Amino acid sequence: QVQLVESGGGLVQAGGSLRLSCAASGRTFSPYRMAWFRQAPGRPEHDFVGGILWSSGSTLYENTVEGRFIVSRDNTKNTMYLQMNSLKPEDTAVYYCASGIRRGVSTANRGAYDYFGQGTQVTVSS
């Protein structure tokens, strides 16, 4: 079993920055990839934000965040990060981290992941 715990959310003004962390634990933690998803207010979907291959560090981003957000990881700490810059009110959402071992599936596909955290709220005021 794998446990994922997000932290670092909060309230920030438009144009500001936040850094989210996702700490993983569990004896079976050995992901192929990890990712961040978000659920905006009033939307049932969890939208892909960005992801990273755990071994190589290769990243993939959703179009509206590319150039503003950076996904990184520290393998020694079993922790993934999401650096969010130039935040906009439309970035307001609950942010979830996810980990998965499946291959042959797009990093942006929610089906690629086996475990999700409980989420952390990010609110961007205008």
pLDDT digits (tens, 9 = 90+) for 59-113: 999 999 999 999 999 999 999 999 999 999 999 999 999 999 999 999 999 999 9
How many helices (H) and strands (E) would you count in the chain? Answer: 0, 11
Q: How far apart are CA 112 and CA 31, in angstroms?
A: 11
Sequence-separated (6 or more) residues with CB below 8 Å from residue 126: 14, 89
The rounded mean pLDDT for the chain is 96
Report, as an integer, the average pLDDT of 21-39: 95
Name residue, tokens 């439309």.
90
Distance, CA of 34 to CA of 123 (rounded, Å): 23
Largest CA distance in the chain: 43
Q: Tell me: pLDDT of 28 over 90.
A: no
Cβ neighbours of residue 22 closer than 8 Å, sequence gap 6 or more: 4, 5, 6, 34, 36, 79, 80, 81, 82, 97, 117
Closest by alpha carbon to 48, among 58, 56, 38? 38
Q: Which of 117, 124, 101 is nearest to 22 (CA)?
A: 117
> How much is the pLDDT for 56?
95
**Is the predicted pLDDT of residue 46 greater than 90, yes or no?**
yes
